[in-house]
Chains A and B, each alone.
Chain A
């Protein structure tokens, strides 16, 4: 049972435009959500997170939106840059559990 789903395996965006990566979850116990970025042959790097008490968190070019009623979150990257090309993983956890549940990942390609 895939509790965290990223339905788009890949996304291609032109440099300078907005990239929107989506993530859905099924477990209503999740109360903390994270996005990680991963380059080939490297471990995931933390990007941004959001607690379930918020609906938006912003950090520079990255904004995460959380819609609890729809059990959906999204990551917006504006403007997109070539260095943003990587695989992005959505992850979720709940209070008391160090375990992170990851989505399958979305490969983002930024075209010049």
Chain B
């Protein structure tokens, strides 16, 4: 069974640009969550999607958005990039929504560098 796939693995963008990251969850998983990892802040929750609906959102500005498609694949978009958006963006999938009693499976992440 394939794991969580994130593309691209690495990305360099310029301030002010926008970026779209992609995540394909494990087959059969319908919940996709996104996290941002930075050295100073650790892993911080961005948002969660289940059945194409955003169920939960973290404390991030509106420049961060996402969506989920009918095949459960998800994309996140960051507009008007800032230097502080440089981070490892991780996607996690799990079978259920709101299932606080199950582990999430993470992809390898997309390393975004904003210059």
Contacts of B92 in A (CB 8 A): 43, 100
Interface size class of B (residues with CB under 8 A): 20 to 34
Query: Could you tell me if A100 and B104 are in contact, using CB atoms closer than 8 angstroms?
Result: yes
Can you report 8 residue pairs joining A to B where beta carbons are below 8 Å apart?
Answer: A43-B90, A43-B108, A46-B105, A89-B43, A93-B101, A100-B45, A102-B44, A105-B43
Binds A, one of B13-21, B48-56, B68-76: B48-56
Say whether A44 contacts B90, CB under 8 Å. yes
The reply on B66 being an interface residue by CB < 8 A is no
Would B103 and A41 count as touching, CB distance under 8 A?
Answer: no
Q: B100 contacts A44, CB within 8 Å? A: no
Q: Is A94 an interface residue (CB 8 A)?
A: yes
Q: Enumerate A27-57 residues with CB–CB distance to B below 8 Å.
A: 31-32, 34, 36, 41-46, 49, 51
Contact B106 A44 (CB under 8 A): yes
Asked if A97 and B100 make an inter-chain contact with CB atoms under 8 angstroms apart, the answer reads yes
- Nearest CB on B from A22, distance (A): 16
Size range of the chain A interface in the assembly: 20 to 34
B31 within 8 A of A: yes
Q: Which residues of B contact A96 (CB under 8 A)?
A: 98, 100
Instruction: Give the docked Cα–Cα distance between A49 and B56 (Å).
Output: 22
Asked if B25 CB lies within 8 Å of chain A CBs, one says: no
The residues of A with any CB-CB pair to B shorter than 8 Å are 31-32, 34, 36, 41-46, 49, 51, 89, 91, 93-105
Of the residues B44, B101, B106, contact of A43 by C-beta under 8 Å: B106
B97 within 8 A of A: yes
Task: Give Cα A98–Cα B45 distance, bound, in whole angstroms.
Answer: 10
Complexed CA–CA distance, A94 and B35 (Å): 17
6 interchain residue pairs of minimum CB distance: A43-B106, A102-B43, A93-B100, A46-B103, A104-B42, A96-B98
CB distance from B7 to the nearest CB of A (A): 13
**Are the CB atoms of A34 and B109 closer together than 8 Å?**
no
Q: Report the separation of the CA atoms of residues A24 and B98 in the bound assembly, to the nearest whole angstrom.
A: 23
